[in-house]
Amino acid sequence: MFVVQRKRVLSALVGFCQALMWIVVIKSVLDNLENFYSIAAYAGGYSAGILVGMALEERLAIGFSHVRIVTVQNTHQMSAALRATGYGVTEYIGHGKDGRVLEVNVITKRRDLANIEEIASTIDPKCFITAEQINPMRRGYWRVT
């Protein structure tokens, strides 16, 4: 996660701790190979660590996302509502299978994704929303939080 977010020092520190912990634990397991519970505890701890790490990463929500909202109804109301709450919005008019659509683009902090989804789905419950993680390069409008 931190490597993706360009946090090199933190990535190296976490990697060091992970390697150190692995060496200590695996030595204990290898010293007790005849003990099934030791092996099962290692496997269970490894699995639990993955789950805890995923939950922690989701909760911290470090980084930025590019959100795309495609709507066919209430087109400019969507952009206006997002702008009213402080988000920078860029609109594109397009043509989908059933006619004219509006694509609304927002660059935001990952922790704001639920808020954007709530605003968008309130205005158009059938809107199509995607989000992808990004690394901002320069400039642009950022919501003050």
Question: Any idea where the domains of the chain sit in the sequence?
Answer: 8-60, 64-134
CATH of region 64-134: 3.30.70.120
Residue 94: how many CB atoms within 10 A of its CB?
Answer: 11
How many Cα atoms occupy the beta-carbon half-sphere of 24 within 13 Å? 6
Q: What is the pLDDT along the chain (145 residues), one digit of tens a residue?
A: 555 556 778 888 888 998 998 898 888 888 888 888 888 888 898 899 899 988 887 788 778 899 999 998 867 899 999 999 999 999 999 998 889 999 999 999 998 999 999 999 999 999 999 999 887 666 666 665 5
104 and 69 in contact (C-beta within 8 Å)?
yes
User: Model-level pTM?
Assistant: 0.68
Q: Is the dihedral of CA 34, 37, 42, 44 positive or negative?
A: positive
Rounded (10°) CA dihedral 95, 98, 99, 102: -60
The residue type at 29: V
82 and 118 in contact (C-beta within 8 Å)?
no
